[in-house]
Chains A and B, each alone.
Chain A
């Protein structure tokens, strides 16, 4: 019986390179081709960019740059009432104490730098961020302008008894990079790294070394 015309055409059609590659391997090996394709496409969209995942320890009194700010964390104090510039900045609250961390910051960027989340207090349960104040007069400061240096107090309310004089606290400073906002309205903003940070330990109430 003569072969059907369509069968003849199919028999003489040369398989593509991909087809040949697949035909020479078992179906169970095709995942390699799939993986290569997925990786190639991921690379095109930045999916294979390097990810930093490092903690950089720095000592109290030592300078650390997070990209946006050059900072020095000096000392920590535990007080019942927060005072600055001759006035009360935080009233005494039953069951709570104020933890103040003194740090000097210089904004190395070209836009105002927000201060609220600059220092990340770790490992103190039920802590509540209270504010950032200028050490010299106790005035609140939400942001530091570019090229300016200020000695600041970062304050948290912590449960009474959670910390004592001599307790050690851990402060993280997340590294930052200047990135163009794409989803929300705005220009370039300093955004925290998800994985890369500086870390220092302070003894509450101890003078800076």
Chain B
């Protein structure tokens, strides 16, 4: 009886295992956000939430179809916030998660809204403004709002995630919101 060529068999099986393993890894590669994503620092509206670079406090939320008489495509969500840098001057960024959707801050009122540099020891008060699908913010909606704030790039850095429950008493609904100018004051 002929003996099998063990060496050739091992080589063939080895090649098969390596190719199959490579394909398996290829289909399950870690995503860039798995590797370099931000570290979430969670908090609630009304309390100061502090990450590595920024501290933020949501003071009130206003929902209206118009801001400064400008009509929204959906509804405007104006989130009044106090920001402060922790150690160095930072450029804050924010988005809003409403139900399944994520919204970027509107640039329609950029001269009045938050988004400019903030510095340590100086509290900046102002608003983030988002244009959100009406069904997600109408009265009686149970969709929670999450305001996410980070500094510059959020790669391997902390990101504040501030929960604003749908029944939070800080939420007010009006027909028109007049944006107040950003203000700064020393702590």
Contacts and interface: CB of A to CB of B under 8 A. Distances in A.
Contacts of A41: 19
Given A142-B107, A186-B32, A149 B73 contact: yes
B31 interface: yes
Contacts of A13: 2-3, 5
A143 B19 CA distance: 42
Given A16-B8, A44-B20, A110-B101, A145 B132 contact: yes
Interface in B140-167: 155
A187 B95 CA distance: 14
Interface residues of A, number: 33
Interface residues of B, number: 36
Contacts of A180: 31
A147 B23 contact: no
A182 B9 contact: no
A149 B23 CA distance: 41
Interface string B46-76: 0000000000000000000000001101100
Given A41-B19, A149-B73, A143 B104 contact: yes
A4 interface: no
Interface string B94-131: 00000011111001100000000000000000000011
B133 interface: yes
Contacts of A167: none
A14 B133 contact: no
